[in-house]
Amino acid sequence: MNPLELVTKTLYSFNEKELTTQVLDAFGKRAETFDQYNDVAKIFFEIKDFSNAITYGEKALKLTKSKEENYTTTKNLINAYNQSNHPEKALTQISKLNSQNQKKKTIQPQKILLMLIINQIIQKKHLLKYQRLNHKILKILNFY
């Protein structure tokens, strides 16, 4: 466990959530390397602050130097996008990984699941629109 992780997890366990976020943000704003951004993103993810985990994870992704760093960071971002209910962004990252790794389609099941989730969201929007229309029609016909 690195010192930043030790301090922030200790603060978080003392229920100092706002202070934990402030400390991580202070380190994140001054980060310059992949490892620094990645450490901040990882801790934000562990304390379930997914929006900040995404912010710093995206910055870390831009600074990756190896295929392994890129793959791991992208997978972490996919998980953060899923946790923060951004399936479209997760699918975009999955597509990027698949294009880089034509031989390995290891995240295909995750892609299929996200497509189902997006489809359900679209269907719910159509259903909601249909319900609103029905409500308006019934109101016009004085059923309400």
Q: What are phi and psi of 32, to 5 degrees?
A: -130, -20
**Cα separations (Å) of 104 from 29, 98, 107?**
35, 7, 8
Q: Which domain holds residue 77?
A: 3-140
Q: Is the pLDDT of residue 104 over 60?
A: no
Which CATH number does the domain housing residue 16 bear?
1.25.40.10
Question: What does pLDDT average to over the chain?
Answer: 84
**CA–CA distance, 102 with 104 (Å, rounded to integer):** 6
Count of the separate structural domains present in the chain: 1
Both tokens assigned to 69: 């760093």
* pTM for the model: 0.71
End-to-end CA distance of the chain: 62
CA dihedral sign of residues 10, 80, 67, 65: negative
pLDDT digits (tens, 9 = 90+) for 31-44: 999 999 999 999 99
Instruction: Evaluate whether 76 touches 41 at the Cβ level (below 8 Å).
Output: yes
Q: Is the pLDDT of residue 81 over 80?
A: yes
